[in-house]
Copies of this chain bind each other. A is one copy, B any other.
Amino acid sequence: MDYLFARRIKSTRRSVIREILKLASSQDIISLAGGLPSPDLFPVAELKEACIKVLENHGREALQYSSTEGYWPLREYIAERYRAKKGIDVTPEEILITNGSQQGVDLLARVFLDEGDQVLVERPGYLGALHAFSLYRPTYQTVTLHEEGVDVQALERILAHNTVKFFYGVPNFQNPSGISYSEENRKQVAAILKGHPMLYVEDDPYGELRFVGKALPSMRHYLGEQAALLGSFSKTVAPAFRLGWVCAETGIMEKLVIAKQACDLHADYFAQRVVYQYLADNDLDSHIAEIREVYKRHRDAMIEMIQKYLPEGIEYTQPEGGMFIWLTLPEGTSSLELLKAAVQKGVSFVPGGPFFADGGGERHFRLSFSYVNEETIEEGIKRLAMAVEELCG
């Protein structure tokens, strides 16, 4: 039957990352592609205790429908952690629990974007966000990320000539580039944004996973309510629950709640209770310290192996945290071609193209070091080097 699909879906393709993930999971290849946390670090026993406690003490309530906004004590916990860790003043009323921060991205787009509206993203930008935005058929403006963060001159120029609904960015250990905005860059970006009736959407799934250097202020610190924050328990507790949040001033929250109601009524309430119980009974900071230590070892190993096996002329970032390294091939080389060779050699990664909302990026690619151990990293980079050898001669 010849169904008449909506325009938004006709022009949107499956996420390249997730298609590659499928490929990687079905074959005997080392995946440096997907941004999966290391399952060795999941607090399985503690979560089992939390499940038992929630079901034994509050089972009938914890299995019922609940409010769209989310479990109040969990919202309090998040607000309190913002105060304690970042020194920013956020109330529980400003927190909406979402199905991962991906749903936060989608809900913000749903609330702000009419077809053709302009949205500003980083170049390269987070693929999942671009995928979410694309279904609203916006016009993209892009601003390049360099080593210190956002190209502020370009930002100023873009905002002088365009009405942008919001600027979506990842200031800490960005996906895919691993870049963090410097403190100076944050100030400059905030100063520029302040003059415009638009939102900065600060997505910060990796912020707590810093290995080196000191934590830098949230954009919210400079922008106040002009910044909406996205957060997630996927990288600090476990991704399966799909628990994240949006933090936004109450006028925006009101709209986000309407949109969330229409989408799916509320996030998994049992999962909210279990994660809250886990957080109440355990020291998240010491758990995160463990994650940092392991990921730092993985990152160090990957950089060492890149230096050891990959030829000169391939550039790479040295992220201070997070899960990703971003590599740049020499001029005239395609990372998509490299991927084809790499899969033959038994290793996968994510090519750069899809991270560029306005095209380009063919020379770049992303490696993830979170999921793989040091031994696998060495073998993976060896295989990658063989693929590079084959492609570039």
Contact A106-B197, Cβ < 8 Å, known A47-B55, A59-B42, A240-B62 = no
Return the chain B residue nearest A22 by Cβ. Answer: B67
Q: Roughly how many angstroms separate A157 CA and B128 CA in the complex, as a whole number?
A: 44
Q: What's the minimum C-beta distance from A392 to chain B, rounded to whole angstroms?
A: 33
Whether A380 is near chain B, meaning CB under 8 Å from some CB there, is no
Query: Which residues of chain A from 233 to 284 have any CB-CB distance to chain B below 8 Å in the complex?
Result: 234, 238-242, 251-252, 255, 257-259, 261-271, 273
Flag if B259 contacts A135 (CB, 8 Å). Answer: yes
Q: Name the segment of A2-10, A140-148, A309-317 touching the other chain.
A: A2-10
Closest B residue by C-beta to A100: B264
- Contact, CB under 8 Å: A242 / B267: yes
Say which residue of B131, B234, B240 sits within 8 Å of A262 (CB atoms).
B131
A134 to B259, CA, bound (A): 10
Which of chain B's residues has its CB closest to A133's CB? B262
Q: Bound complex: CA of A135 vs CA of B241, how far in Å?
A: 26
Is A374's beta carbon under 8 Å from chain B? no
A63 contacts B51, C-beta separation under 8 Å? no
A34 touches B65 (CB 8 A): yes
Interface size on A, residues (CB 8 A): 88
A198 to B67, CA, bound (A): 34
Contact B100 A5 (CB under 8 A): no
With CB as the reference atom, state the residue of chain B lying closest to A136.
B6
A308, CB-defined interface residue at 8 Å: no
CB-based contact B34/A112 at 8 Å:
no
Q: Which of A13-21, A181-189, A206-214, A328-336 contacts B (4 or more CB under 8 A)?
A: A13-21
Query: Is A175's beta carbon under 8 Å from chain B?
Result: no
Contact partners of A13 in chain B: CB under 8 A:
258
Minimum distance in angstroms from A133 CB to a CB of chain B: 9
Q: Are A239 and B64 also in contact (CB < 8 A) when A102-B264, A264-B99 are?
A: yes
CB contact between A261 and one of B14, B55, B98 (< 8 Å): that residue: B14
Instruction: Kindly provide the distance from the CB of A47 to the nearest chain B CB, expressed in whole angstroms.
Output: 6
**Cβ B59 vs Cβ A36 within 8 A:** no
Residues of B within 8 A of A34 (CB): 65
Asked, given contacts A6-B111, A225-B1, whether A15 binds B134 with beta carbons under 8 Å apart, the answer is no
Task: Select from chain B the residue with minimum beta-carbon distance to A98.
Answer: B264
Partner of A110, one of B37, B68, B102, B135: B135
Whether a CB of chain B sits under 8 angstroms from the CB of A165 is: yes
- Quick check: A263 and B103 within 8 Å, CB to CB? yes
With a CB–CB cut-off of 8 A, which chain B residues contact A67? 18, 22
Pick the residue among B36, B111, B131, B134 that contacts A5 (CB under 8 A). B111
Q: Name A64's contact: one of B36, B61, B114, B255 (CB within 8 Å).
A: B36
Residues in chain B near residue A14, CB distance under 8 A: 257-258, 261
Q: Taking the complex as formed, is A153 at the interface, i.e. its CB lies under 8 A from any CB of chain B? A: no
| 19 A–B contacts from the bound complex (CB under 8 Å) | A1-B197, A2-B197, A3-B112, A4-B163, A6-B110, A7-B114, A8-B110, A13-B258, A14-B258, A14-B261, A39-B60, A44-B63, A63-B238, A99-B99, A100-B265, A103-B264, A110-B135, A135-B259, A242-B264
The 10 closest A-B CB pairs, nearest first, are A44-B59, A39-B60, A63-B238, A99-B264, A240-B269, A51-B51, A103-B264, A240-B270, A48-B55, A268-B268
